[in-house]
Each structure stands twice: as C-alpha cells, then as structure tokens.
C-alpha cells in the first residue's frame, strides 16, 4: 500500500496590507501626471522611487545623511514590494517608514504607501541599505548619529 507523502511545511502566508499604526513616521508624496500608466493607475516602478524618496528625504531632514559630502552613503542591495490597491494621479500618498532590522553596516527599511487618510496600505515593501565608505565602496559601521536616529524607527 502506498502512503501519501505529506509535508509539514505550510505555504507562505499571503502578504497583507499594513495598518497605518504600524509605522513610526510619515512623509507626504504627491503623485504626478506621468506616474500613471496606460491602465490608469501608478506604474509599479514608481513605488520603488517613492520608497527611496521617503527614506532618504527623512534622513536628510534629520541631518543624518549628507548626499553631497558625507563620508558614508547607503547602497540598495535588496528591494521588494507588495501591491494591494491602486493609487493614481491626482492623489496624495502618505509613506510610512519603520526600521525592521538594524545591523552593523546595514538597515532594512519597511515602507507602507497609503492613500491620504486611509488606514490600510495600498502597497508595502522594503529595501536594504548597506552603508559604505563613499570613496572605497566598502561597508562601514553606521555612523552614530544615523544609528541613533534609526533606533527611533524600530
């Protein structure tokens, strides 16, 4: 008699939208006419630009990232996005930011994109920055001011 083979591993959980309350800080982003694609909603590639804009603008405003003269810069080494509901021009997007993992030289940022005033994210994703020396492009420990600020987002 043949015994059916079963697996104890479960299928991965289907990604779900996040609640606004699960993010630490928010940044408004205005959609642009050119963000829409022929299907009438924001094209998927624009979401990645919003992730980058939200995180880097926040770091610059906090004085912990100098994109022009800083000795340390962040390079993106991983990124992912899950889409739950469409966003379109004209609409204001609110990007929620949190830090999921803070390493010695790397940070995993998680970003939720919300239609203005909505409680559930229309999309959510992450990217990982590895902080490197601007000249050598070799990983370096997070500068203390940056690390201190990022700890507030965990």
On whether residue 97 sits in a domain, the answer given is yes
- For position 7, what pLDDT does the model report? 53
Query: Residues 102-139: pLDDT tens digits?
Result: 999 999 999 999 999 999 999 999 999 999 999 999 99
How many structural domains are present in the chain? Answer: 1
Is 19 in a helix, a strand, or coil?
strand
2 is a domain residue: no
- Looking at the domain assignment, is residue 10 inside a domain? no
132 neighbors 80 (Cβ within 8 angstroms)? no
Strand ranges, E, within the chain: 25-30, 72-83, 92-102, 106-115, 123-133
Domain extent at residue 82? 20-151
Residue 101 located in a structural domain:
yes
Residues of the chain below pLDDT 50: none
pTM of this structure = 0.89
Q: Is residue 28 domain-resident? A: yes
CATH of the domain at 100: 3.10.129.10
């Amino acid at each position: 008699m043949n015994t059916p083979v079963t697996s104890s591993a479960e299928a991965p959980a289907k990604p779900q939208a996040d609640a606004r309350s699960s993010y630490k800080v928010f940044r408004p982003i205005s959609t642009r006419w050119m963000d829409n694609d022929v299907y009438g909603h924001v094209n998927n590639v624009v979401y990645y630009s919003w992730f980058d804009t939200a995180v880097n603008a926040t770091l610059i405003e906090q004085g912990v990232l100098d994109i022009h003269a800083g000795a340390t810069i962040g390079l993106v080494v991983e990124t992912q996005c899950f889409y739950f509901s469409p966003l379109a021009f004209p609409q204001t997007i609110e990007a929620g930011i949190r830090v999921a993992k803070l390493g010695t030289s790397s940070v995993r940022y998680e970003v939720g994109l919300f239609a203005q005033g909505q409680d559930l994210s229309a999309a959510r994703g992450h990217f990982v920055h590895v902080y490197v020396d601007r000249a050598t492009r070799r990983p370096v420990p997070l500068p203390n001011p940056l690390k201190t600020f990022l700890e507030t987002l965990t």
